[in-house]
Structure 1
Amino acid sequence: MNISLIAHDEKKEDMLEFVSRYKHIFERHTLYATGTTGKRITEETGLPVHRFLSGPLGGDQQIGSKIAEGNMDLVIFLRDPLTSQPHEPDVTALIRLCDVHHIPVATNIGSAEVFVKSLK
């Protein structure tokens, strides 16, 4: 499966812990991520990650393009609901594309756990 991993700044540590915990599952899939998140995942876990631009610089939109083309199977987007994001319209557009194209999207650790455990 093609899996996108995105995390707002305040959720990056949660993403690193999550991917490390399920490394044995993620290593069987093709991973994509926005810039900093992807870099940190690779540094922390050694997993190969196809990196796009940082989210605010268009990385969310690049992942959205993959979704629109039918080339993404799952999106894990750990959002920070307590901090205003300057690129919130991009975030909303990405989630809308997931809905339009029937792509499962997890926006918190709880839903991400359910999706990843189903990949076993």
Structure 2
Amino acid sequence: MAKLIKRTLALIAHDQKKDEMVAFAETHRAILAKFDLVATGTTGGRVLAACPELSLTALKSGPMGGDQQIGALIAEGQVHGLFFFVDPLTAMPHDVDVKALTRLVLVYDIPMACNPSTADMIIRQMTHLN
């Protein structure tokens, strides 16, 4: 019998979108509990504070290398979906990191949600695969 591998999702949210990410996690906590989660530092801390039962590893903050850590996990085939709530109205000093992550999800053909509506659709679809 083949061993079932738990899928991993990555969570990132720009500062102005962290509340939306926390609300998303609270709404979908039962579904997210079926996955291993990785997140950039502040986003991960906020999600864990709201949903301590989740299996979540918080990496470095995005600007301090967390985006690249998640990018490396994508390139190694260890991330199966990226939920990156982007703030389109605020300039980001680490915009090149955002572009690099977008490129990686395209290269490795993994789903990426940039807002809660798309994240809802993806998470519901992924529950059928997990």
TM-score higher than 0.5: yes
Q: Residue type matched to 2:92 in 1?
A: Q
Matched positions, count: 120
Taking structure 1 as the reference length, the TM-score comes to: 0.97
| Residues 38-77 of structure 1 mapped to structure 2, 5 A cutoff | 38-46=44-52, 47-77=54-84
Match of 1:115 in 2: 122
The SS at the match of 1:111 is helix
Match of 2:21 in 1: 15
Query: 1:113 offset after TM fit, Å?
Result: 0.8
Mark the structure with the bigger radius of gyration.
2
Distance 1:63 1:75 in 2: 9
Q: Residue type matched to 1:98 in 2?
A: V
Unpaired runs of at least 5, structure 2: 1-6
Superposition CA RMSD, Å: 0.7
Unpaired runs of at least 5, structure 1: none
Q: Residue type matched to 2:32 in 1?
A: F
Match of 2:3 in 1: none
Match of 1:82 in 2: 89
Distance 2:126 2:66 in 1: 25
Q: Residue type matched to 2:40 in 1?
A: T
Query: 1:32 offset after TM fit, Å?
Result: 0.4
Is the contact between residue 8 and residue 36 of structure 2 (CA under 8 Å) also seen in structure 1?
yes
CA displacement, residues 26-69 of structure 1 (integer Å, 9 cap, x when unaligned): 00110000000001111111123111100001100000000011
Distance 1:61 1:22 in 2: 26
Q: Residue type matched to 2:119 in 1?
A: A
Over the matched positions of the two proteins, sequence identity in percent amounts to 43
Taking structure 2 as the reference length, the TM-score comes to: 0.90
